[in-house]
Amino acid sequence: MRILQLGLLVALASGVSAILIYIVGVSNQYDRLRVTEDDLNALRALQSGFKKCVETTQIIFEKHSQCGSELAVCDMIVVLVIKLHIAIVDSNGLGLQALISQDFCQVKIQYPSDTVSKWSDPETGEPEGLSFDFNLCEAAATWEQVRNSSTILTKEFIDALPNGWEEYAWRRINKGIQLDQCKNRTLCMEKLSSVLPETPPFVPRQFGRCAVIGNSGDLLKTKFGEEIDGYDAVVRENGAPIQNYTQYVGRKSTFRLLNRGSAKALDKVAELDETKKEVLIIKTTIHDIMNKMIREIPIRNQVYLMLGTSFGSSAKGTGLKALEFALSICDTVDMYGFTVDPGYKEWTRYFSESRKGHTPLHGRAYYQMMECLGIIKIHSPMRADFSRRVNYLPNKSTLDAARIASEKLLRRAGAGTNDKFGACSIMNKGQKGKFPTIPGLHEPAVNHQRYVEGASMYPLERNTGHGMLCVLP
């Protein structure tokens, strides 16, 4: 009997303590995620700077004074014929408008009302709209996370991912039935072996200044070639040729991002870069055709898979994927060859006839948002001055404070903590005890490796709170 009572007491006590622990935990979390007045001020500063960055215009008065200092009458005439030139000089957005709302995150980017939509949704037939809602908090938090991420698929990632082989790798190989959910892991690994490094081949900030080159026909309007060759690394897309276009697109090519169509013609793509040093990065599933080509042709270029692909649909956003990849390995990222100037009529590629560009106005507005958050810099025929300054960019302290506030508002994993591994919802210890494996890293990359203690951090797809998978050395 006494034992029973004691047991009851113990059970009760542990129940109460469990509840207490729960309450303390919740209130701790509540404290962490509490949005302070400072947080809100940071978001306000980000928003108002953003608005100015997109749309500030400078009005220039130009006096047409041809009559020198002669008569009062002449002065009057001058006043009458004063020509009011309203030149869009400082407007980074080239006529775009940014509307900010009471909400601390939402902004609307709007095109001039006389803009004619040239693209319609093939399913609904609706022409593309002229205003787009964006979430600045989402963008600030997500792109900063990308900058510290590994975006190349590795063996350590699959090993650490729950059901990594049975689900992720199996889907990625795209040979479902025969491989039977990778029950025979050796066989599965064989399929991936030519494209699967053990650990990330590149680390954050490994390269200094990078350029991402799109395929827009606009590239033929400006001779950017020499300028592009001046970057530390150049990222190209799909079947973009270099030969015969070097004065416009440069010669240098460090990486090439491939969608499904291009990856299937891996042998043709590998010929585009004469140096054969270009690293090929596939953003879709790996196919036996590709494996065969890598082994048998043989393709001398290094080939990798990019993480976080939307399996199947390959046309979707190679441009944004290329920016994501570049941001994960470069100090700064500039973009060329995207259709980002006013007056969009039809999408052409610099090396072929016009095609169906998708959602061009949405894309242009999104890239403008990225530029005004200081994530990328846009180069285009209308913004061809290399030394062009992007005005009203947020400074580092505003950006950091706004990002921390955004993480709290969005309930991101690790928000409000000082723990550098706070966002790691999966944490694994690697096998090799490696610290920076790449020789000759420049200082920003070394500093970052020190900061993360040599850990690799991978973004997890469809993870609530954008948690990461982290592998410590």
| Residues making contact with ligand NAG (CB under 6 A) | 45, 49, 144-145, 148, 184, 186-187, 190, 241, 243-244, 395, 397-398, 448, 451
| In the complex, minimum distance from the CB of residue 397 to ligand NAG, in angstroms, rounded to a whole number | 5
Q: At its nearest, how many Å lie between ligand NAG and the CB of residue 452?
A: 7
SS3 sequence, the chain? CHHHHHHHHHHHHHHHHHHHHHHHHHHHHHHHHCCCHHHHHHHHHHHHHHHHHHHCCCCEEECCCCCCCCCHHHHHHHHHHCEEECCCCCCCCCCCEEEECCCCCEEEEECCCCCCCCCECCCCCCECCCEEEEEHHHHHHHHHHHCCCCCECCHHHHHHCCCHHHHHHHHHHCCHHHHCCCCCHHHHHHHHHHHCCCCCCCCCCCEEEEEEECCEHHHHHCCCHHHHHCCCEEEEECCCCCCCCHHHHCCCCCEEEECHHHHHCHHHHHCCCCCCCCEEEECCCCCHHHHHHHHHCCCCCCEEEECCCCCCCCCCCHHHHHHHHHHCCEEEEEEECCCCCCCCCCEEECCEEEECCCCHHHHHHHHHHHHHCCCCEECECCECCCCCCCCCCCCHHHHHHHHHHHHHHCCCCCCCCCCCCCCEEEEEECCCCCCCCCCCCCHHHHHHHHHCCCCEEEECCCCHHHCEEEEEC
**Closest CB to ligand NAG among residues 359, 425:** 425
Check: CB of residue 107 under 8 Å from CB of residue 98: yes
Nearer to ligand NAG, 113 or 244 (CB): 244
* Min separation Cβ 437 and ligand NAG, Å: 18
With respect to ligand NAG, which residue has the nearer C-beta, 145 or 328? 145
Compute the least distance from the CB of residue 351 to ligand NAG, in Å.
7
Contact, 348 vs 225, CB < 8 A? no
Least gap, CB of 2 to ligand NAG (angstroms): 55
Q: How far is the CB of 331 from ligand NAG (least distance, A)?
A: 11
Q: How far is the CB of 392 from ligand NAG (least distance, A)?
A: 9
Smaller CB distance to ligand NAG: residue 27 or 395? 395
For residues 163 and 397, which CB has a smaller minimum distance to ligand NAG in the complex? 397
Least Å from the CB of residue 12 to ligand NAG: 43
Closest CB 468 distance from ligand NAG, rounded Å: 9
Query: Smaller CB distance to ligand NAG: residue 159 or 341?
Result: 159
Contact assessment for residue 53 and residue 372, using Cβ atoms and an 8 Å cutoff: yes
Residue with Cβ nearer ligand NAG (45 or 88) = 45
Q: How many CA atoms lie within 13 A of 414 on its CB side?
A: 16
Residue 210 or 361: the one with the smaller Cβ distance to ligand NAG is 210
Residue 57: count of CB within 10 angstroms of its CB: 13
Query: For residues 14 and 193, which CB has a smaller minimum distance to ligand NAG in the complex?
Result: 193
Rounded to a whole number of angstroms, the minimum distance from the CB of residue 244 to ligand NAG is 4
Nearer to ligand NAG, 357 or 414 (CB): 414
